[in-house]
Amino acid sequence: MPKLVDHQERREAIAHALWRVVDRDGWTRATLRDVAREAGVSLGQLQHYFASRAAMLTFAMEFAAEQTSDRVARGLADLDRPPHPRDVLRVVLTEMLPLHPDARASSRMSAAYVLEALHDPALRRQAALGLREGRALVGRLVREAAAQGQISPDRDPDVETDLLLALTGFTPLLELGVIEPRAVLAAIDQHLDRLFAASS
């Protein structure tokens, strides 16, 4: 009897293989053949799922976004009930940064995706959509906190959203060893403390 193949599982295995290749060699050196070898499949099998590097990168990014959402959900599950908006924002922000191996893999994929999107209109639209959704999520959290009186009403929600997202700019400093994770966490905590102290 022929072995049944779980196609989603195969696609996810290829996505993980791409993460490892990019982590090791960088996106510019990653070829379909390299990823097929890393995934333990033939080039023909890989091309059955992904006809191009761009298609493979897009799926890998979508999968990475799902993994990030799962990590955020797990982090939120550990918070008090109901969770304080400051703690929710901290979980969301820290999971966007390369502070542990899983987040580091998706962060490097994200960097590759953005670079590729600069030269591919279809990828640019898709990348921008994902970033807008992320910004909207943080914006909702800021507005909910303001509505609950936990952020001062004189704070502009759009500006505060953008300032929070600016903290994800620590990514290259972390990746290149310019600063340590503890320094990033201290900066995030201090910023959140200032934001939420404004209401007291």
pLDDT digits (tens, 9 = 90+) for 84-103: 999 999 999 999 999 988 78
Domain boundary, last residue among 9, 30, 51: 51
Would you say residue 139 has pLDDT above 90?
A: yes
Cis? peptide before 2, omega within 30° of 0: no
Query: What is the length of the chain?
Result: 200
pLDDT at res. 1: 47
Same domain as 184, residue 115: yes
pLDDT at res. 199: 53
Same domain as 120, residue 25: no
The total number of structural domains that make up the chain: 2
Same domain as 70, residue 15: no
Q: Dihedral of CA 48/64/36/171: which sign?
A: positive
What phi-psi label fits residue 177: left (phi over 0), alpha (psi between -120 and 50 degrees) or beta?
Answer: left
Same domain as 164, residue 178: yes
Tokens standing for residue 23:
């982590």
CA nearest to 75, candidates 59, 54, 99, 56: 99
Same domain as 139, residue 59: yes
The more confident residue out of 24 and 143 is 143
Same domain as 77, residue 28: no
Same domain as 99, residue 15: no
Same domain as 105, residue 124: yes
First to last CA, the chain: 69
pLDDT at res. 187: 97
Task: Tell whether pTM > 0.85.
Answer: no
Q: What residue numbers bound the domain in which 6 lies?
A: 1-51
What phi-psi label fits residue 195: left (phi over 0), alpha (psi between -120 and 50 degrees) or beta?
Answer: alpha
Domain boundary, last residue among 12, 33, 51: 51
Would you say residue 59 has pLDDT above 90?
A: no
